Chain A
């Protein structure tokens, strides 16, 4: 089985976000880039399949600027066999990205299983798995908490609200989007990190995968930082007053209840 794992490189979640001067994007100076955490579960799932059957191959694909090669190397260091880098602007939207990824996978013409995180940690749009599946004509199940593999059929447990789990059975080929808790992503051993430096990353252009700039459908503009948090305050008074004021604040100020 040939498994393709689509990954996205995103800013590390602890990084402070600054907006650039014309509010069209963030200031990328000093940003630490990592593999989107949900995509790591996808990589790990693919590697586990490879371990259970060494004839399975794992290819890590990412679409983006030159820097995403680092993310692909991380996947290779974890144990993936091969990498594919599709050169794409960092401002590409989910539609353009999905078309590029699907184009690359179609070109390979041998995919049985496509894995990726249920959403990217930077935009949280949660669209690319569904887009890719539609473009490839594959079945798709998202937010996978557990996948059971049998001949050509997968049973996927997916999470819905309130702790409830839906069980969906799907044939292969399929796109499955990973949720946190699907597995425990491994730490790359040093020999694998060293080996990864020599593994092949195939370079593809937009033309190679059949996309152009006009495939972009949406742009994010008008970036703003949220209003600066008020410094915390202690609520005084007797217990009854305190909880009253707290609930009012949570409801009207913070809007969290």
Chain B
């Protein structure tokens, strides 16, 4: 039975499911779970945190914490960790989590690691493995000292989702001196496109000239929206004016390495391959069974993208 603190990330009053997944999982493994929530007006999250498994809930509620700044949030988390002294401080490896945790770890002069893709309880200690060299290998993290807490961020979808063992939900309010915070949050901007950039998206769906028009790319966009994916294009499609140059994937465009790359109506000539062949999983949809793209695809469908992609979209809807 370890004392496990979990940073329960919230933005705009909504808890991240990746965080609540960790809480449930730790709880279901028999540990005492303490959720740490930082923000403004966050007390309303008490119910949700209790039902996903938090035995204790540490609130740091302050107007300075309404919007994330690294400095203010790390001061808040440091204060809570110092006061609660857990064995582990876990967080989801989200943009906020991966930024925040290291400040706290170094302040506590305590071991830390990040982006674990495999986590397993061995009694009260946690065994973690993580990808290295852009996922070309994995390694186990060995913690050298006996310091605590150990700070670990975990990649989303690593621990099983949900779980319905509620915790005791005992809350504590912490007040933190944030008067020395010099950083200011100046606001948020929605990105120019609601979709992620091809280079950073986990899933990329690309179209070639066979889409025949800019309008037809909507077929791919529908699927992309479902998956939170980016939409890319081959050079031929960009040349034909169907997509802007910033979406071009290839030797003279962007080089991408997503977890999933779906190539629709793209033949897979080397100039395109050079931009996406390191993708973890490649799906090819093309009417030409001899198209070179099938040489690198993990899964290939010889077919008309105008039939296959909408059908695929429907099928994905069923599992989302």
Tell me which residues across on chain B come within 8 A of A243, comparing CB atoms: 301, 308, 311-312, 314-315
Question: A70 interface residue, CB < 8 Å from B?
Answer: no
Contact with B along A14-37 (1 / 0, CB 8 A): 001101000000100000000000
The chain B residue with its CB closest to the CB of A11 is B133
Contact with B along A157-168 (1 / 0, CB 8 A): 101111111111
User: When the two chains form their complex, are residues A251 and B311 in contact, meaning their CB atoms are under 8 A apart?
Assistant: no
User: When the two chains form their complex, are residues A251 and B137 in contact, meaning their CB atoms are under 8 A apart?
Assistant: no
Main secondary structure of the interface of B (DSSP, over half): mixed
Stretch at the interface among B43-51, B64-72, B232-240: B64-72
Tell me which residues across on chain B come within 8 A of A225, comparing CB atoms: 136-137
Give how many B residues have a beta carbon under 8 Å from the other chain's beta carbons: 88
User: When the two chains form their complex, are residues B142 and A221 in contact, meaning their CB atoms are under 8 A apart?
Assistant: yes
User: When the two chains form their complex, are residues B183 and A127 in contact, meaning their CB atoms are under 8 A apart?
Assistant: no
CB distance from B255 to the nearest CB of A (A): 9
Tell me which residues across on chain A come within 8 A of B105, comparing CB atoms: 127, 131
Contact with B along A125-162 (1 / 0, CB 8 A): 11101110111000111110000000000010101111
Identify which of residues 168-213 in chain A touch chain B, using a CB-to-CB cut-off of 8 Å: 168-171, 180-181
Tell me which residues across on chain A come within 8 A of B183, comparing CB atoms: 139, 141, 168-171
Cα A99 to Cα B243 in complex, Å, equals 47
Contact with B along A220-257 (1 / 0, CB 8 A): 11111110011011110001101110110111001111
Tell me which residues across on chain B come within 8 A of A123, comparing CB atoms: 132-133
Cα A246 to Cα B192 in complex, Å, equals 32
User: When the two chains form their complex, are residues A218 and B96 in contact, meaning their CB atoms are under 8 A apart?
Assistant: no
Contact with A along B279-313 (1 / 0, CB 8 A): 01111000001000011111111110001100110
The chain B residue with its CB closest to the CB of A161 is B95
The chain A residue with its CB closest to the CB of B308 is A239
Question: A98 interface residue, CB < 8 Å from B?
Answer: yes
CB distance from B260 to the nearest CB of A (A): 4
Tell me which residues across on chain A come within 8 A of B112, comparing CB atoms: 95, 127, 217-218
Tell me which residues across on chain A come within 8 A of B103, comparing CB atoms: 130, 133-134, 140
Cα A161 to Cα B300 in complex, Å, equals 30
Name the one of B94, B140, B185, B298 contacting A167, with C-beta atoms under 8 angstroms: B185
User: When the two chains form their complex, are residues B142 and A247 in contact, meaning their CB atoms are under 8 A apart?
Assistant: no
CB distance from B186 to the nearest CB of A (A): 4
Q: With A169-B186, A234-B301 in contact, do A163 and B197 touch (Cβ < 8 Å)?
A: yes
Tell me which residues across on chain A come within 8 A of B316, comparing CB atoms: 247, 257
User: When the two chains form their complex, are residues A223 and B115 in contact, meaning their CB atoms are under 8 A apart?
Assistant: no
The chain B residue with its CB closest to the CB of A126 is B98
CB distance from B88 to the nearest CB of A (A): 14
Q: With A223-B132, A247-B315 in contact, do A163 and B102 touch (Cβ < 8 Å)?
A: no
CB distance from A82 to the nearest CB of B (A): 27
Main secondary structure of the interface of A (DSSP, over half): mixed
Tell me which residues across on chain B come within 8 A of A219, comparing CB atoms: 141-142, 144
Tell me which residues across on chain B come within 8 A of A140, comparing CB atoms: 70-71, 103
CB distance from A107 to the nearest CB of B (A): 19
User: When the two chains form their complex, are residues A257 and B227 in contact, meaning their CB atoms are under 8 A apart?
Assistant: yes
Tell me which residues across on chain A come within 8 A of B194, comparing CB atoms: 162-163
Question: A63 interface residue, CB < 8 Å from B?
Answer: no
User: When the two chains form their complex, are residues B144 and A217 in contact, meaning their CB atoms are under 8 A apart?
Assistant: yes
Highest count of chain B CB atoms <10 Å: which of A98, A131, A216: A131
Closest 4 CB pairs of A and B: A163-B191, A130-B102, A167-B186, A222-B140
Q: Which residues of B line the A interface, CB within 8 A?
A: 67-71, 94-96, 98-99, 102-103, 105-107, 110-115, 129, 131-145, 147, 157, 182-197, 199-200, 202-203, 227-228, 259-260, 278, 280-283, 289, 294-303, 307-308, 311-312, 314-316, 318-319
A sample of 23 inter-chain contacts (CB < 8 A) reads A122-B132, A122-B134, A124-B134, A126-B98, A126-B115, A130-B102, A135-B106, A155-B186, A162-B191, A181-B199, A218-B111, A222-B140, A224-B138, A226-B136, A226-B138, A242-B301, A246-B299, A246-B301, A246-B315, A247-B315, A247-B319, A254-B260, A256-B260
